[in-house]
Every structure is written in structure tokens, then in C-alpha cells.
């Protein structure tokens, strides 16, 4: 998302997911840039959350 001045806007979110609602978790890395890791968390209702830059 960009501001009216054309600058990139960054947002921080706090996500709370009860443990019993987590269906699975997966970790992966960008093949071209292995330092760029990410994690996918899937809930029992099949909603995916992607987390970047936390490793």
C-alpha cells in the first residue's frame, strides 16, 4: 500500500490464534534468496496466515 506521496506504508499486526484452532504450520525459504524465510500457519477453517521476516 502506498501513501498519497507515493511512499510505501508498513503496518504491524498482532494476531492471536488459539492453539486448538491451528491445523498446521509450514516453514519455507526463497530459493533465490535463502535468507528470506517465511512461515505459513493454517487454521482449522483453512484460513492461511503468512509470516515474513520473523526468523
Closest CA to 39 of 48, 31, 47: 48
Establish if 14 belongs to a structural domain.
no
Residue-by-residue DSSP string for 18-34: -GGGEEEEEEEE-SS-T
Vertex 21: Cα angle to 18 and 23 (nearest 5): 130
In a domain, 26, yes or no: yes
User: How many structural domains compose the chain?
Assistant: 1
* The pLDDT of residue 21: 96
- The pLDDT averaged over each successive group of 10 residues in the chain (55 residues) is 87 88 88 80 94 73
Within a domain: 1: no
Tell me whether residue 41 is in a domain: yes
Cα 3–chain centre separation: 22
> Which structural domain, as residue segments, surrounds residue 48?
19-52
Whether 40 is covered by a domain: the verdict is yes
| pLDDT score, position 31 | 75
pTM of the shown model: 0.61
Asked whether residue 37 is assigned to any structural domain, the reply reads yes
Amino acid at each position: 500500500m502506498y501513501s498519497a506521496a507515493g511512499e510505501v506504508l508498513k503496518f504491524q499486526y498482532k494476531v492471536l490464534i488459539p492453539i486448538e484452532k491451528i491445523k498446521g504450520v509450514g516453514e519455507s525459504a526463497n530459493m533465490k534468496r535463502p535468507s528470506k524465510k517465511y512461515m505459513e500457519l493454517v487454521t482449522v477453517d483453512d484460513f492461511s496466515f503468512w509470516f515474513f521476516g520473523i526468523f
